[in-house]
Amino acid sequence: MPVTRKHVGTRMSQIVIHNDVVYLAGQVGKAGTSIAEQTTEILASVEKLLAEVGSDKTKILQTVIWLDDMKHFAEMNAVWDAWVPEGHAPARACGEARLATPDFNVEMIVTAAL
């Protein structure tokens, strides 16, 4: 099976497709904004990237979420819970990690079916 890459950069591709599985690069929101705003921007980006390849949020298989501090867990989840379609919650993990810049509070890595 071929590997398809979209939005290819020097360091990473935003989308990689193999065997009808879509892998998205880690998505972040606008640095320096609230956790709710960053989460909203990330989820909009996820929707846009999935739509580009003919998938959508009901086909998300797994999401890995990194928070810079677990104190943001409830605020991030409030946005996430309102966004995930009922009956389509993916497998998910959420942990705390130092992100690329201190201005990022959340990053999400999404894997979905086509």
pLDDT at residue 114, as a whole number: 97
**Rg of the Cα atoms in the chain:** 14
Q: Tell whether the model's pLDDT for residue 3 goes beyond 90.
A: yes
**Beta carbons within 8 Å of 9's beta carbon, 6+ residues apart:** none
| Residue 54: exposure state from Cβ atoms within 10 A (0-12, 13-18, ≥19) | exposed
pLDDT at residue 85, as a whole number: 97
pLDDT in tens, 44-74: 999 999 999 999 999 999 999 999 999 999 9
pLDDT in tens, 68-80: 999 999 999 999 9
Q: Domain 4-113: which CATH class?
A: alpha beta
| Side-chain-side CA neighbours of residue 98 (13 Å) | 0
pLDDT at residue 1, as a whole number: 85
Q: Tell whether the model's pLDDT for residue 94 goes beyond 90.
A: yes
pLDDT at residue 47, as a whole number: 98
Say how many C-beta atoms besides its own lie within 10 A of residue 61's C-beta.
13
Q: What are the domain boundaries of the chain? A: 4-113
Q: What is the DSSP letter of 87?
A: T
pLDDT in tens, 4-42: 999 999 999 999 999 999 999 999 999 889 999 999 999
pLDDT at residue 95, as a whole number: 98
